[in-house]
Amino acid sequence: MAQRFWKAGNAVAVWMYRRTGGKVGGRAKGGSRVLLLTVAGRKSGMPHTVPVAYVERDGAYYLAATAGGQPKEPQWVRNLRATSTATVEVGRERRKMSVEVLRGAESDAAWKDVIVATYPSFAPYEAKSGRRIAVARLIPTA
Q: Where along the chain do its domains lie?
A: 2-140
Residue 4 clears pLDDT 90, i.e. is over it: no
Q: What is the dihedral of CA 13, 15, 20, 26, to 10 degrees?
A: 30
pLDDT category, 142, cuts 50, 70, 90? confident
Q: Which fold has domain 2-140?
A: Pnp Oxidase; Chain A (2.30.110)
Residue-level length of the chain: 142
Tens digits of per-residue pLDDT, 84-114? Answer: 999 999 999 999 999 999 999 999 999 999 9
Q: What is the dihedral of CA 75, 88, 50, 39, to 10 degrees?
A: -40
Beta strands in 58-104 (DSSP E): 60-64, 85-90, 93-101
Mean pLDDT in residue range 64-69: 92
In sign, the C-alpha dihedral spanning 100, 101, 105, 111 is positive
pLDDT for res 7: 74
Cut 0.85: pTM above it: yes
Q: What is the C-alpha to C-alpha distance for residues 139 and 62, in angstroms, rounded to an integer?
A: 9
> Which region, left, alpha or beta, applies to residue 130 given φ > 0 means left and ψ of -120 to 50 means alpha?
left
